Amino acid sequence: MNYFSLTPQVKRWLRFVVGGGMNTGFSYLIYLLGGLVFSYQVAYFIAYVSGIIFSYWFNARFVFHIPLSWKGLLSYPLVYLVQYLISALLLGSAVEYLGINKYIAPLAITLITLPLTYCMSKLLLGAGKNAPSRHSP
């Protein structure tokens, strides 16, 4: 099976996952470079905000194929706020009540929240069936 034989929905999901990986690498690079100039807290803040902007751009353009807008950019951090709150709750429960190792739990939480993040991104970006989009292979 190759990429071109996959359904459009599976292709979009794969682009979302690849974009998340790219965003992680991009944010980490910004953090490392920022750490050369700023304190680690300032570097982290810059990297985090840069990651949100990159994620908005990548998901709008390459995952959901919707036009960029100021409204979309300014509302997109809501995805990260909801994701963080749910992840923090799940992480605390996994470590404190289920006894899952604190170094392993975040990886499992990421996998669990990935579909939620995808759906929230799709909803917030207005990439539903009624939204204008351009389809690509």
pLDDT of res. 70: 92
Average of per-residue pLDDT across 93-108: 90
Tell me: pLDDT of 116 over 70. yes
CB 90 within 8 A of CB 109: yes
pLDDT band, residue 76 (cuts 50/70/90)? very high
pTM: 0.78
Whole-Å CA distances, 52 to 1, 82, 98, 115: 33, 13, 31, 17
Tell me: pLDDT of 1 over 70. no
Tell me: pLDDT of 39 over 50. yes
Compute the Cα dihedral for 41, 46, 48, 49 and give only its sign: positive
For 57, other C-beta atoms within 10 Å of its C-beta total 16
